[in-house]
Amino acid sequence: MISFTQNLISIDKTKANICWIVENHSPNVIKDVNAYSDIFSYSFGDIGIESIKSITFTIQLSKTELIGKA
């Protein structure tokens, strides 16, 4: 099983820091894992067995409603 989590790391009056986390709990390597929303996308590449990968990025606070669809 592969799982995806989106976390709000911090927020101020102009921007928000978001963290995407992908975890592989399957017995196989997962090839070419991609995550995307309406305003941001990221390729995590291959995810090994029992591996976790993450990325943190900043978006304008006015666009946070677009990231909710990740």
Long-range CB contacts (< 8 A, 24+ apart) of 55-60?
55/19, 55/20, 56/9, 56/17, 56/18, 56/19, 56/20, 57/17, 57/18, 57/20, 58/15, 58/16, 58/17, 58/18, 59/15, 59/16, 59/18, 60/14, 60/15, 60/16
pLDDT digit string (tens) for 1-49?
A: 899 999 989 999 899 899 999 999 999 999 999 998 888 899 999 999 9
pTM listed for this prediction: 0.83
